[in-house]
Amino acid sequence: MRLETQAIICAVRPHGEHAAIVRALTPGAGIQAGYVRGGKSRTLRPVLLPGNLVAAEYRARTEDQLPHMSLELVASRGALLSEPLPAAAIEWATALTAAALPEGQPYPRLYEALDGLLSAVEAAPAARGWATALVRYELLLLAELGFGLDLSECAATGVESDLAYVSPRSGRAVSAVAGEGYRDRLFALPPFLLDGGPAAWSDIFDGLRITGHFLTRDILIERQADVLAARERLIGRLKRIGGA
């Protein structure tokens, strides 16, 4: 097995005294794990940071063997890890990716979306500039894993207009009229998920409530405590600046 590719570092775990096991998202081969000799060294520590873009080479004698991974830094997002809010966003996005995706299955759309999200976190002066991209990334991940939401029409009436809610059971949209008597049992559907464009903080938090419900129920079933803790830290920081 030999693979040369760009990759986004998603998770790093120490192995022994000097090495590390690295899981990274590649554009054509999905999540790939590799053994990095000297991964805890002073030279490689700043390279092996979640969110960094690297040029990686994987080598293994058999398909069943954990490949050795060598890598060079292409773009560092390490400076953002000293800022609490961007650091929390990078921690959650990469932790979610590493925990949710099976190894070796290609998800090119997720690779592009994750790189775009991390670039937005890096470029945006305020969190509202990338918070909508975070919600859309979570929605895309759900869809790519077979748990996509259907926001095209009302689940009760089939109408395609006046969609205002999402059913927590089916993940389908519900119109304002059909959902009027069930508002306390439904999620509010923020307009930006239908029309794109910017969103108010209240809409962003509505979007995060929707994606959080389905990620917890359908994807992170056995890995909730540790992975979702990163999401809770991020949302806590977003609420402090968003006034929720």
Q: Can you give the pLDDT at residue 196? A: 84
The partner residues of 5 in beta bridges, in order of sequence, read 56
What is the pLDDT tens value at each position of the chain, 244 positions in all? Answer: 899 999 999 999 999 889 999 999 999 999 999 999 999 899 999 999 999 999 999 999 887 889 999 999 999 999 999 999 999 999 999 999 999 999 999 999 999 999 999 999 999 867 988 999 999 999 999 999 999 999 999 999 999 999 999 999 999 999 999 999 999 999 999 999 998 878 999 999 999 999 999 999 999 987 667 889 999 999 999 999 886 6
pLDDT value of position 242? 82
Q: What is the pLDDT of residue 224?
A: 67
Domain ranges of the chain: 2-76, 79-242
Would you state the pLDDT for residue 244?
60
CATH 2.40.50.140 fits 2-76, yes or no: yes
3-state SS of the chain is CEEEEEEEEEEEEEECCCEEEEEEEECCCEEEEEEECCCCCCCCCCCCCCCCEEEEEEECCCCCCCCEEEEEEEECCHHHHHCHHHHHHHHHHHHHHHHHCCECCCCHHHHHHHHHHHHHHHHCCCCHHHHHHHHHHHHHHHHHCCCCCEEEEECCCCCCCCEEEECCCCCEEEEHHHHHHHHHHCEECCCHHHHCCCCCHHHHHHHHHHHHHHHHHHHCCCCHHHHHHHHHHHHHHHHHHHCC
How high is the pLDDT of residue 223? Answer: 67
Q: Which CATH number fits domain 79-242: 3.40.50.10490, 3.20.20.70, 1.10.10.60, 1.20.1440.120?
A: 1.20.1440.120
CB 96 within 8 A of CB 113: no
**Distance between CA atoms of 213 and 209, rounded to whole angstroms?**
6
Q: What is the pLDDT of residues 209-235, one digit of tens each?
A: 999 999 999 999 876 678 899 999 999
